Amino acid sequence: MEENMEEGQTQKGCSECCLKCLSGIPYASLIATILLYAGVALFCGCGHEALSGTVTILQTYFDVVRSPVDALDVFTMIDIFKYVIYGVAAAFFVYGILLMVEGFFTTGAIRDLYGDFKITTCGRCVSAWFIMLTYIFMLAWLGVTAFSSLPVFMYFNIWNTCQNTTLVESSSLCFDLRQFGIVPIGEEKRLCTASENFIKMCESNELDLTFHLFVCALAGAGAAVIAMVHYLMVLSANWAYVKDACRMQKYEDIKSKEEQELHDIHSTRSKERLNAYT
């Protein structure tokens, strides 16, 4: 019987410990972090492969060659965008971890309000700093989303033309890269629907794959924007809770101080009466 009671108490203690650990998890920050990582991974991975596919399409079907000198051509810009993607992936991986840590500390501060945990002014400043930084990142991701829609629009026009080649057989449509600023004005790089390269490009898997990769990258950027908005709501709510907790903490400190002073006054008067009586 005693062994069964001890086992029951042990299981009860483990279950209480697990529930306490689960109650301390900032689920809102966890959901936002998962959404951020998914969006950034989708944007960086698909964007990188889409840029590589763009290089292949330009070189194979549009006959665009890389400049032999260190000039700022389209291929140099694509290489720069790839390096930017590497930096974005690393930066937001770290930023997601920082926001999760902040969420854990803020959740612990709120739950331990009436315990020994003391909310400092530095903690409130850190929360406000994260709110400002997340707002800036949200605006940046909005710009990235708008910028990512440009290649989607260009590839959609080409892909849609390839899907309706029977409708454009009677007319000759051409795609001029100078219209998109990909090549200089003096360099004519045009691909018409009646050309052999256009037919080969439409029959290949590179155009279809690159187009859908850009669509996925656009979806990833949109998911990152939603994650940033989610983080803003979480951080704003945590900051408001911490601010109210600080006021409550000050009130409790003042109340305990006044009670201590009243207790000291009462003790002093009791001693004086006792001395006067004796």
Please tell me the total count of domains within the chain: 1
Tell me whether residue 144 is exposed, middle or buried, using C-beta atoms within 10 angstroms of its C-beta: 0 to 12, 13 to 18, 19 or more: buried
Decide if 149 contacts 218 (C-beta within 8 A): yes
In a domain, 140, yes or no: yes
- pLDDT at residue 74, as a whole number: 86
In a domain, 111, yes or no: yes
In a domain, 181, yes or no: no
In a domain, 232, yes or no: yes
Picking from 4-8, 145-149, 272-276, which range would have the lowest pLDDT averaged per residue? 4-8
Which of 123, 129, 133, 148 is closest to 51 using CA atoms? 148
* pLDDT tens for each residue of 62-91: 888 887 766 778 888 999 999 999 999 999
In a domain, 185, yes or no: no
Decide if 41 contacts 240 (C-beta within 8 A): no
* pLDDT tens for each residue of 175-224: 888 777 777 777 777 788 778 888 888 888 888 899 999 999 999 999 99
Backbone angles phi, psi at 175, to 5 degrees: -110, 115
Q: Give me the sign of the Cα torsion angle 20, 22, 25, 29.
A: negative
- Residue 45: domain span: 26-157+206-249
In a domain, 4, yes or no: no
Tell me whether residue 185 is exposed, middle or buried, using C-beta atoms within 10 angstroms of its C-beta: 0 to 12, 13 to 18, 19 or more: exposed
Question: Which tokens is 230 given?
Answer: 């989610």
pTM of the model: 0.77
In a domain, 60, yes or no: yes
In a domain, 46, yes or no: yes
